[in-house]
Structure 1
Amino acid sequence: MADDATARDLALSLSDIEAAAARIAGAVVRTPTMHSRTLSEMTGADVYLKFENLQFTAAYKERGALNKLLLMDETRRSRGVIAASAGNHAQGLAYHARRLGIPAVIVMPVTTPTIKVSQTEGHGAEVVLHGELFDEAYAHALEMAEARGLTFVHPFDDLEIIAGQGTVALELLEDAPQIDTLVIPIGGGGLISGMGTAAKALKPDIELIGVQAELYPSMYAKFSRQKLPCAGDTIAEGIAVKAPGFLTAGIINRVVDDILLVPEAEIETAIGLLLQIEKTVVEGAGATGLAAFLAHPERLKGRSVGLVLTGGNIDPRLLATVLLRGLARAGRMARLRIQLQDRPGALLSVIRLFDRHQINIVEIYHQRVFTSLPAKDAFIDVECEARDAQQLHRLEEELQAEGFAVHPVEIR
């Protein structure tokens, strides 16, 4: 890392983060930290959750945004601010800008979930949709800032933003000082840079572990000196950043001990577990900390771990899909493709077996024409729900014993 970069990132100190905490106090929620008995039993670790999804805008991002706005002079405030964001930085900046009477423009990728667009507009910001990914929206926002004389507020690569995000660690370690490991999602790196700076100053021996989605391992690649592709439709769009920050990379190189990658299936499962166990809604990026436990169980076993649930802005339709897919993976729901003769009574004989095993049929799709089966045969796809995978397995065995060919349609 270049000397000037090192000097700049070392300019961020615990005192900066403590000052930010005093500055934003009362205007952001001091979110609770709670011990999860069930997740602790499941993972073999002592798990503490920091509920940043309970902020007014449902994400930690408003901490850094507010700190930045409060440090701006009146001239810059009157001209207005602009940002590029996949959603949570946008909402945090828009909300506090309106509260302080500052005009705000937000450039968002066209792929941003509808709920985040509508909520940002609801906070009074002018929303401009541009580009498929954050990097394209970011470039357009810089052009607009120059053309309209607006102050660009970076979502992560800004020391004042980073200081605001670091206040999460002050609260977490005050509430649970026994924590010896922090597991923090990484997109551009603002949260882990701020939290890492604070945590290492307060507890030099604390372990700091970052988490990224496998599809967007930008900081992991930089951290491990590898060239890895960053592309795909990740459910953790809040951390889908192709190019990590310059300042944040320097800080991460200094304070972070490890970065783990998590696949999409584990992120989906983590969202479902947090809803079922903790009764809390968390978006994909916010669930990656728990996903790290699922993907790397031995890495965190026996530790006292603080997880930050960074945000809860997930599209309701997407959440429904994730939960149903989770039931399928757990064997609670299934789609069975069953081959049978196309004759009267054949379908009824199948349905009777479902009734005998007390498995509920959700939907049936009957196909005679678009199939490679003989003309006298057909197949049906039956979507059904059961108590558990064993109950479904017993049904499959009896269907086969009765002469029906059964092929479960699985998801990965």
Structure 2
Amino acid sequence: MNEALLRSLTPSVLAILVRRGADFAAAEDAVQDALVEAVRVWPADQPRDPKGWLVTVAWRRFLDATRADTARRRREDLADEEPAPGPAPAVDDTLQLYFLCSHPSLTPSSAVALTLRAVGGLTTRQIAEAYLVPEATMAQRISRAKRTVSTVRFDQPGDVATVLRVLYLVFNEGYSGDVDLAAEAIRLTRQLAAGIDHPEVAGLLALMLLHHARRAARTAPDGSLVPLAEQDRGRWDTGAIAEGVEILQRALARDRLGEFQAQAAIAALHADAPTAEETDWVQIVEWYDELAGLTDSPVVRLNRAVAVGEADGPRAGLAALAELTDSLPRHTAVAAYLHERDGDLETAAHLYAEAAGKAPNLAERDHLTRQAARLNARLRG
């Protein structure tokens, strides 16, 4: 049984049923029934047109369920519209499914869960494990999301920016449980890029590839975080970097700059530097200026302060940091780093310890605690 084939076909089959008039929840139930039937039948007799077979079986299951539900008699006319069995249409509605799963009426967490379920083909258990919540909780979240989008018309243009943000949220979850969400986000973004010609889709794909290329070097054997400047660049995936840079260059050549392209440009400059000392920080600051103009994000300005500190010295970085509220996530950690660069080890040690107490995860907390301990040992010596 080719599970990868089934998984790749699922979103387009689901999209076809929704396009024909099935509500989202009922369509997904019907597709799941068809997948179960495929697992039973295909090992002995796989059809020549797998997608067409799934569409036909799923549509019949949907019609059977519709006929059996007396509360939905108003939809009985759909029974007369069953297409004759045959090859599935060449048009792929998967793109519309991306838009539907990222509908503005959904919360970000619900949009992510529904995208992974409907477009990614992950099970509810896999998604729950990836997000470290009980399976029943995730099932309720997905069920509510399906009910929400069931009333949404499937013939309206979608918002690409919303889809990209959902995919970026998936990517940033990284790895948890038995699902590599970063790799899954890259796979889904590749699929989206194949269906839509948009420079920001390419920009996001490039950004993901460039960040993912450094993954192996981000942690030490004991699981501790390794800062970018200390990473073994020989462990970076040069193939992913080359692909990311090529995709980014094609996107930038279209002269329709967006935030994901700007972020990818910054990541490309880091990837291009043979050593941390050779990083082109001046150009990185320029890209952060572009990015700040596109997003007006305080988090972007926080990262820009770090870049300014590298390009123009730590005091320039601290001056840029002073313009931002200290309630920003990681503000204290950035302040600690810049004070250390400026030679004020006592202040830096205090700030590292304070930042550790605010860290969003255990790995970051441990890293900041070690930084504080390192400086305190130097001060005592």
Structure scoring higher RCO (CA < 8 A, sep ≥ 6) equals: 1
- Measured against the shorter chain, the TM-score band is under 0.3
Task: Say which structure is richer in helix.
Answer: 2
Per the normalisation by structure 1, the TM-score is 0.26
Task: Say which structure is richer in strand.
Answer: 1
